[in-house]
Amino acid sequence: MELNYREGELENLLRVRDRFVDLIGLYSNESTTLSKSKMLGTIFDTVFFIGISNLRHHMPSVKEVYLNVGEPRNKSLRNLELLEEMRIVTRVHDKNDSRVKRVRLTDKFKDDFDSFVSQWVDSRKPQAESA
């Protein structure tokens, strides 16, 4: 499948993604310093999947996260623990099945994620529309 981007669209999208990764970095503390490559990879994918699911009024289960992000279960669990330490996500018990944990963005990070999505959508607009 070939993706066709308008001139400058891909660069705008990558700049928005980099700003989002920088934002994730602001949530980390001294004990949880992350490399830029890790944030661009699995951490970004995990936060993005959870955030988009939450925007659709769905709290994915932990299992849904690791199946959709495409990482091994243990790596996904470590990433979720790290994101919880950073206060980006929180896990809650499912109302219908207490064995299942659901994941959502924290209230503080949700606002930042909403801002990221707005910037992302704006970056996809043709230059004539955004002027």
More reliable by pLDDT, 67 or 14? 67
Q: What is the pLDDT of residue 100?
A: 94
Q: Is residue 131 part of a domain?
A: no
Q: For residue range 17-57, list pLDDT tens digits in order.
A: 777 777 777 777 655 556 666 666 788 889 989 999 999 99
Q: Chain-wide mean pLDDT for the chain?
A: 81
Q: Is residue 130 part of a domain?
A: no
Return d(Cα 64, Cα 101) in angstroms, integer. Answer: 10
Provide the domain limits for residue 77: 10-26+34-125
**Residue 94 and residue 101 in contact, taking contact as beta carbons nearer than 8 Å:** yes
For residue 79, give the CATH number of its domain: 1.10.10.10
Say how many domains are in the chain: 1
Q: CB atoms < 10 A from the CB of 30, how many?
A: 5
Return d(Cα 77, Cα 68) in angstroms, integer. Answer: 13
pTM score, whole prediction? 0.74
